[in-house]
């Protein structure tokens, strides 16, 4: 398990994402679409078109991290946008 520091926000890209992108391509989407800093220490989650794959990018202060999870059965369900507290 990778410990995520307190105060880290999770940003979810609700539209489908081209899953061929690596950290640089996803970081560019964070900057252009979400208007956030991809190196700011928050988690950014992207879902593939079929819904069976997600990618998470995170800069932990030491370097860029790219996590990928593909489901063998089922799909990742994304509901509508939530408003931050």
Query: What pLDDT is recorded for position 43?
Result: 94
Query: pLDDT higher for 80 or 53?
Result: 53
Q: Rounded to whole angstroms, how far apart are CA atoms 21 and 83?
A: 27
In a domain, 79, yes or no: no
Q: Is residue 29 part of a domain?
A: yes
Range of the domain at 29: 10-70
pLDDT tens-digit profile of 23-75? 999 999 999 988 999 999 999 999 988 889 999 999 988 899 999 999 999 98
Beta bridge partners of 43: 10
Evaluate whether residue 56 is within a structural domain.
yes
Residue 85 is assigned to a structural domain of this protein = no
51: alpha, beta or left? (left if phi > 0; alpha if psi -120 to 50): left
Model pTM? Answer: 0.83
**pLDDT for 28:** 93
Spatial separation of the C-alpha atoms in residues 45 and 20, rounded to whole Å? 14
Report the distance separating Cα 82 and Cα 85, nearest Å: 9
The tally of domains found in the chain comes to 1
């Amino acid at each position: 398990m990778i410990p995520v520091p307190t105060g880290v926000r999770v940003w979810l890209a609700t539209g489908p994402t081209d899953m061929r992108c690596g950290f640089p391509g996803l970081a560019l989407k964070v900057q252009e679409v979400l208007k956030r800093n991809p190196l700011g220490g928050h988690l950014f989650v992207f879902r593939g078109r079929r819904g069976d794959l997600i990618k998470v990018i995170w800069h932990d202060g030491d370097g860029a991290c790219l996590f990928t999870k593909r489901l063998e059965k089922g799909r990742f369900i994304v509901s509508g946008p939530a408003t931050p507290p």
